[in-house]
Chain A
């Protein structure tokens, strides 16, 4: 076996095997073809959207002028924005105390904190629905002016986003050299000054990555929003869901493309920010 070893043909150079390359290409095509066609056909002139008839921006214009879609997108962005801020603050605080302190029943506490990440979304959605109905928050929020009528959805989004933020921020904190903190305190800085000038700058990439994660999670969430939203408070995914039930249209493609672009940009920024920490900085 392998008498004349060319570079890249050794027994462990699986990366150069033809079958693997073919499989890679096939799987990546399968993964991306549906999304690519969705984006491509958002520029199609054909109403039914099956055959390519020509390039146009009309669908974007139509989606943009669709008041219901506009409202839904505005709701989604507002919810994502507010929920991200709250979730990032709460998540960062949770990460800080889990990282810094030892306390009784800590493993149990961590287990409970991981629950919103692991339990099926539908269970969390219906339990919050029941909670909002029984506490009267469902009926109470309906009459509130915008954006206060989104409060139920924001609360629900914070509840499932902040444990994710905590995980991301905590993994960043693990690389922190605590001698810096001691040095800061030895030199007379208060607890708050140490936090603000030493720990917070170190946490920053983790915070931004966590915030972007929370933002995309909130913007993407369908199941939990579906159960916690009232008839007046429709978010973008919920709106698209009700449109899709009535059939496929290039207008939905256009609106979806906009959302895809927003999430992909947010994700790539988050990944870029998280990347250096893997190379063992700090």
Chain B
């Protein structure tokens, strides 16, 4: 690697465009929003910076605290279900014949590339009361069930949408797992379950942690899934933020909530960095 002083002209030419865009259209808007989160609303479209903490204090009102709490547990449940489904999938892909791997991986990743909105819309058609699932259940004499517009629908939607984020890091760690450890454990009389619990699981922990964080962060900040699949009472923090900007027009409060959401995100990332450092460079 060259020192940046070595060729100043090339360095500045390459450095400027990206830095400019990042600064003007990312850092400054965020900094601005940070300022607004300490401002007071003076009219519908005007705010005045007063350094007030009122917006943050308001976020801890019972009603918002309840929504934040609900967002967290919905995200936790969605992450746990993702993990439970993704682990066997990732594990299986690692152990199938080599020629199948690319196809199976593609099948896991492909839905991730399909528009989030379209995938959520597809779920509505499946789960609504005259939807396909109720139709199928009807044939065996069950239902119809109300499966949409509740917390359960939001969790199912989040699991459906963010599964690939969990499979990929798990696949990456399990693939690198030294199989002789598993053989050794089995040879020494460990059962399959003991081998999994005491050898495979601890060795693949870095991938599990990465997957959990990769799923938990977008779940917590999700707005579209709860908006489309959740009923009036299934709102998450993303929906509250959206309302502050689209209908309630309380920008300072919306800004404060956005920053709280970002702090949680940073905390999750810091936790991952800490755990990765502790597992001695077994990073994913």
Contact = CB atoms under 8 A, between A and B. Distances in A.
Interface stretch (B60-68, B109-117, B275-283): B109-117
A10 to B, nearest CB: 9
A15 B97 contact: yes
Interface in A71-119: 89-91, 93-94, 96-97, 99-103, 112-113, 115-116, 118-119
Contacts of B232: none
A123 B4 contact: no
Interface in B238-284: 238, 241-242, 245, 251, 254-255, 258-259, 261-262, 265, 269
The B contact surface, by secondary structure, is helix
A122 B88 contact: no
B32 A126 contact: no
Interface in B1-30: 1-4, 6-7, 9-11, 13-15, 17-18, 21-22, 25-30
B223 interface: yes
B113 A127 contact: no
The A contact surface, by secondary structure, is helix
A69 interface: no
Nearest to B131: A50
Nearest to B167: A27
B45 A120 contact: no
A28 B45 contact: no
Contact of B135 (A50, A131, A159): A50
Contacts of B45: 133
Contacts of B261: 120, 122-123
A145 to B, nearest CB: 23
A263 B223 contact: no
Contact of A131 (B10, B32, B104, B116): B32
Interface residues of B, number: 87
B218 interface: yes
Nearest to A236: B115
A131 B35 CA distance: 12
A233 interface: no
A41 B125 contact: yes
B117 A31 contact: no
A38 interface: yes
A259 B245 contact: no
B135 to A, nearest CB: 6
B56 interface: no
A32 B125 CA distance: 13
A255 B269 CA distance: 38
Contacts of A50: 130-132, 135
25 contacts: A12-B183, A20-B91, A24-B89, A24-B92, A30-B160, A31-B163, A32-B107, A34-B125, A34-B126, A34-B160, A35-B118, A41-B125, A91-B18, A112-B22, A115-B26, A122-B221, A122-B261, A123-B259, A124-B26, A126-B33, A128-B25, A223-B223, A244-B117, A248-B124, A275-B102
Given A27-B85, A32-B111, A94-B17, 15 more contacts: A14-B92, A20-B91, A23-B92, A38-B121, A48-B130, A90-B18, A101-B1, A113-B18, A118-B269, A119-B265, A120-B262, A130-B251, A131-B25, A240-B117, A264-B113
